[in-house]
Structure 1
Amino acid sequence: MHLTKNLPIPNFAAIAGAVCLALTSLPGFAADHFTDWPEGFSPKLVGTRATDRFIAKLKARAESGKKGEIRYPEVINWYGALTFAKANGLEDRAKALIEAADPLFKEETHVMPPPNHVDRNVLGSLAAEIFLQSGSQRALEIAKNYADIQWLPTGEIISKGAAEAGKPQGGLSWRFDEDAKKYMEQGLTWQTRFWIDDMYMITMAQGQVFRATGDRKYIDRAAKEMVAYLDKLQEPNGLFYHAPDVPFFWGRGIGWMAAGMAELLTSLPEDNPDRARILEGYRKLMATLKDTQGKDGMWRQLVDDPKSWPETSCTGMFTFAMVTGVKKGWLDADVYGPVARNAWIALAGYVHGNGDICEVCVGTDKKNSREYYLKRPRVFGDMHGQAALLWSATALSR
């Protein structure tokens, strides 16, 4: 069975789901859940296609002369491609990805976003990964700046000339309101807003600098922030609303939490006082995800609604988080291994031969409307989905 760009994706996904269910029913299969993939479904094959697709997009961007700001979907895709290349020993791809970032890090222009919002500061996680793989001191300097400014008192930010209070930059403003001051008094970042998306963006900006420097303050900040979000946003069933005023279990939103916790726990020292609380929240979420996975191996646009459509970015994020937990020993391999395997095979069924994945929910603001989430457009090759696919392939390759 091969992935081809001419094969109708919905039918192929159904076949993939049937294959994974049949395979996991074989006697003794639980001994090893993440090897012996059906032909065309190996993480290295699928991930290499997605990596090459991203490199092609970066090349096209460079050739177009586009100077627009680097956005977070591109950042997280870049990070996913780099970690995948490292996990699979693809030195040529890693080199191409690092070289493509060189002009970005040399130009302090509108291409590099101002560090005034969680979606912009996550660029630091990519810079840290480039340092880890290349030793670039310039990349490390950029990563530390994006992480440090998240915890600077507002007065220091202003004195550094980063921005004037409340002055818009690129459509977003520096937030120096009473809420920001309150959060800083609690030891949190002034960028706190209690949207679940933040628990990937903030924790990655901080956690990656810890990985790059070994300085505990970064990972300790990230853990403290994660606990605040868990305490405020996790529901008794283990899931998360998009925000306190938006009571819907949106798939990709919960995926940000799942991936953020998995990344954080991977590096969080055992003696960190917040580790047990984060691990508890992670396991609680994984248990509910196990029970809400569709028979086709996918998760839905609204996780608790089996009639909503199968969505690939959340499925990729959940797969990454669950595979990581099984491999790290946080989850029972015999219980969660088959769930994660089914999810990968189903997810890979949505990938075309050129490396693009389909059925990705478009970028989504929060809105207190169930129909808003159910009717979000589904797109092809969107980097939210491409990134999650690469994260999963990376976790399976490690």
Structure 2
Amino acid sequence: MTEINLSWPKNYNEVPKEAFVRKDIYAEEVKRIFHGTEWHPVAHESELPNPGDFKTFRLAGVPLLIGRDVEGVVRVFYNACSHRGNQLETAIMGNKTEFECPYHRWLFDSKGDLVGCPNPREFLPGFNKADYPLAQPRFDIYFGLIFVTLSAETEPLLEYLGDSQNCLRELLAGDGRLKLLGYQKVRYDTNWKSYTDNDGYHAPLLHQAFKMLNWQGGKGRQYTATHRGHICFESALSVATGPSVLKDKSLIEFKGQDPAVGSRIVSLFPTFVSTKHLDVINLRFATPIDAETVEVHYAYFAHQDDDEDMVRHRLRQSSNLLGPCGLISMEDASVFHRIHIGNHTPGSAIFQKGVHDPLKLESEFLQNDESGNLPRWEYYRSVMGFERATV
């Protein structure tokens, strides 16, 4: 692989700002991370409830076609015709039992098999349609969450997830039997690492709505789940009372069974974030567009066993709390962009909250620490091959 020179500080709590903005570094990230040996969540099975349902997604530029075939089996294909590579499907989502390439009218069924092509008698001798199915990347499924890797060398999914499995399973309602409520999609003017560098320290300070949930006083924890730098939050929230609270308290009402864990977050390297704040089940499928832009698909879910009132409750909370204009996270877009601008200055970003020894990397953190992001940065540094300074 290409070697890139970047001076990485000796202290674990320092991250060079160059890592956020250099275009040569971004190009190498695409090769080593997004097209390398990582698993990337790209959809949940509940987005494809019926035979023939499909959605499309681009993983750092690589087009994917994710669908459920006529027999109900989930499949993932590269979204490219096996003939000359033309993009096969342009719709964001839909329902089809066949996919036809408009260029030369090659036709594929929902299993990805080539079932028709014009004038095959004039093709190369011995041409056989069975030799030209849609190509497929490796994929696996964990409680309905569909993961893709573009490398044959990536470790098995469960090994990759490590200790994040339990928290992720709980976030997926315990059994993964979800029902799609809808999406909010946005592009942030920032590098993908700025987007994923969110921490527990900023939550009640930037997001005023978190004051209503007493995040700052929470007794929850965050911990590193694997050597891959995944981070899990199990956070305590308590809804405030009094005249300063919203007039419609149902927006921050918690109907979950365990109020001691009012929030769960699983952040899987490199860009996937899943959250359950109060009763909102939110999966965030993110992909870098370029060195200065990241696209995030906020997908919201209910549980299949929810009654009508609970579905309505989850829907109202989903549309009002999270996403690009949610009460909790509406400030993110502005701050992400300002971080990106600020990172065009010399020096390093220096983490403070929760750092006990800059020369030691820890794995357990308090709910409001920013130091929980440091194991992720150490993993990133090692994947990119950046040498840490010794002095």
Which structure has the larger Rg over C-alpha atoms? 2
State the TM-score, normalizing by the size of structure 2: 0.29
Higher helix fraction (1 or 2): 1
Higher strand fraction (1 or 2): 2
